[in-house]
Amino acid sequence: MRISTPSRTIAFFITLGALLVAAAIALNVSWIVFHWRQVVPLVFGIIVFAAIIAGLVLNTIFLVREIRRNEQQDSFLNAVTHELKTPIASIRLYLETLERRQIEEPQRREFYQIMLQDTDRLLNTIEEVLKAGEVRHTTKTHDFQPVELGALVREAVELGRIRHRLPPEALQITAMPTEEAIVMGNPDELRTAVMNLLDNAVKYSGPEPQIAVGLRLPDLDSARLRISDHGVGIPQGELKRIFRRFHRVHHASGVKGTGLGLFIVRAIVRRHGGDITARSAGEGKGSTFMLRLPRVHRA
């Protein structure tokens, strides 16, 4: 049996839509040619045909969008299932080994460490999925408080080095303002956003990450955080799409992920009145993420 791929399905609907629109236009033109002397049916016919054509175009756009969304949800489900299954399978294996065999104390400790890491990975995936659902629906700003971005970035970098076992030169702070960078916001969310960007920079950098983090105050009202790496890079056409929910770039498919991280980052940054953009000279040439947040001044 031949299974039609999603892109083939989209091509089919686009062709069908285009053919129907062409047929409707041809009918419309012949109607005008045959009835050009009868003003009332002519005007009526043109309006009805225009409505039919508009309906067809809208219908095609809607169908194509739905197919795309389904595709993305499928790949998201696959990614999440994989992210949940792998650590559970690993924990199970270690538990079975511990149950069946007499294990020396040092090795037993090592097993416990691995199982703890696996449970962390499970928790991270679950938190990411929950957070993605949450950020879509929250617009509240009543929990905002002054947050010093410089301290937050320093902490995040420190945590990133510990989490990924990196030497200081692999994850460096290259610029930090001398004055305070105060942002009105939720510190946990801002930390999540910065950590997601740092985790990605490490994840998509291969075995030897070289990451630079710079915080600057370009003017009185904003703070700009720049995180750049020398990793796999992002193709030009993908620079905007990577912020969409579930969107992952093919070349990075060897790296595990759910396609939710950048979506969460963008939602958080927007809720704080800022914006985020990505740049890359192309595949294999590293990536730079620039985050701008509005800042305030202490009275």
To ligand ADP, the closest distance from the beta carbon of 282 in angstroms equals 11
Q: For ligand ADP, which is the closer residue by CB, 17 or 160? A: 160
Site map 224..253 versus ligand ADP, x via CB under 6 A: -----x-xxxx-------x----xxx--x-
Cα 290 to Cα 299: distance, rounded to the nearest angstrom: 28
d(CA 192, CA 160): 12
Cβ at position 56, least distance to ligand ADP in Å = 34
- Tell which one of 56, 115, 213, 262 touches ligand ADP (CB under 6 A): 262
Beta carbon of residue 248, minimum distance to ligand ADP (angstroms, whole number): 3
**Whole-angstrom Cα distance, residue 115 to residue 74?**
29
Q: Which of residues 124-143 bind ligand ADP (CB under 6 A)?
A: none
Q: Kindly report the backbone phi and psi dihedral angles of residue 287, in degrees, each rounded to the nearest multiple of 5, phi listed first.
A: -140, 155
Give the list of residues 6+ apart from residue 35 with CB closer than 8 angstroms, or none. 41, 42, 45
Find the binder of ligand ADP among 257, 269, 272, 292 (CB under 6 A).
Answer: 257
Residue 275: strand, helix, or coil: strand
Interface with ligand ADP (CB under 6 A), residue from 261, 269, 276, 291: 261
- The residue among 55 and 133 lying less far from ligand ADP, judged by its C-beta, is 133
Q: Taking the complex as a whole, how short is the minimal distance between the CB of residue 199 and ligand ADP, in angstroms? A: 8
Question: Which class for 174: exposed (0-12), middle (13-18), buried (19 or more C-beta within 10 A)?
Answer: exposed
Q: SS3 of 195, please?
A: helix
Amino acid identity of residue 208, one-letter, is: E
Size of residue set near ligand ADP by CB under 6 A: 21
182-221 footprint of ligand ADP as x/- string (CB under 6 A): ------------------xx--x-----------------
Q: How would you label 126-138 residue by residue, b for 16+ Cβ within 10 Å and e otherwise? A: eebbebbeebeee
State the minimum distance, in angstroms, from the CB of residue 151 to ligand ADP. 24
Please tell me what DSSP assigns to residue 205: T
- The site for ligand ADP (CB under 6 A) is made up of 200-201, 204, 229, 231-234, 242, 247-249, 252, 257-263, 287
